[in-house]
Structure 1
Amino acid sequence: MLETITIDCPYCGERYATQVDLSAGSQSYVEDCAVCCRPIEIAVRVDEDGELLGVDLRTDRD
């Protein structure tokens, strides 16, 4: 189940929409910013019912 979320790039500060796959449960992955193309580590927290609990963003410097 895909859900569209809006995130703020930790590098350039621009806001953009992206999709997360809630059916995969909690996960971490790297996605390039749609604006500045720098790599963002995205950690998605999903509960046992498949509901989005939160999203954490990190740079490669964190």
Structure 2
Amino acid sequence: MNPIIEESIQCPYCGEYFSTIVDTTVLPQEYIEDCQICCRPISFKVTSDLEARISVNVYREDETL
């Protein structure tokens, strides 16, 4: 499996969809990336389940993860 994936996410601020690159070599991980549309900081949480399925969840910076 390729450790670098492209994910389409929806910004929790402006609601627009955009594609971003996610590095899955270290899981779980949390990081902040700015929205490509409105430039607000999005918190990313990347995890894997027991079947190695990758899950990318995004939150507003002020939301609890």
Distance in 2, matches of 1:22 and 1:40, equals 18
User: Which position in structure 2 is the counterpart of 1:55?
Assistant: 56
Matches within 5 A, 1:1-62: 1-47=3-49, 51-52=53-54, 54-62=55-63
Which has the larger share of helix? 1
Percent of aligned positions that are identical: 38
The answer for unaligned runs of 5 or more in structure 2 is none
Moved over 6 A (4+): none
Distance in 2, matches of 1:21 and 1:60, equals 20
Q: For the aligned residues, what is the CA RMSD? A: 1.6
**TM-score for both structures, normalised by structure 2:** 0.82
Please identify, of 21-30 and 4-13, the stretch whose mean Cα deviation from structure 2 is larger: 21-30
The answer for unaligned runs of 5 or more in structure 1 is none
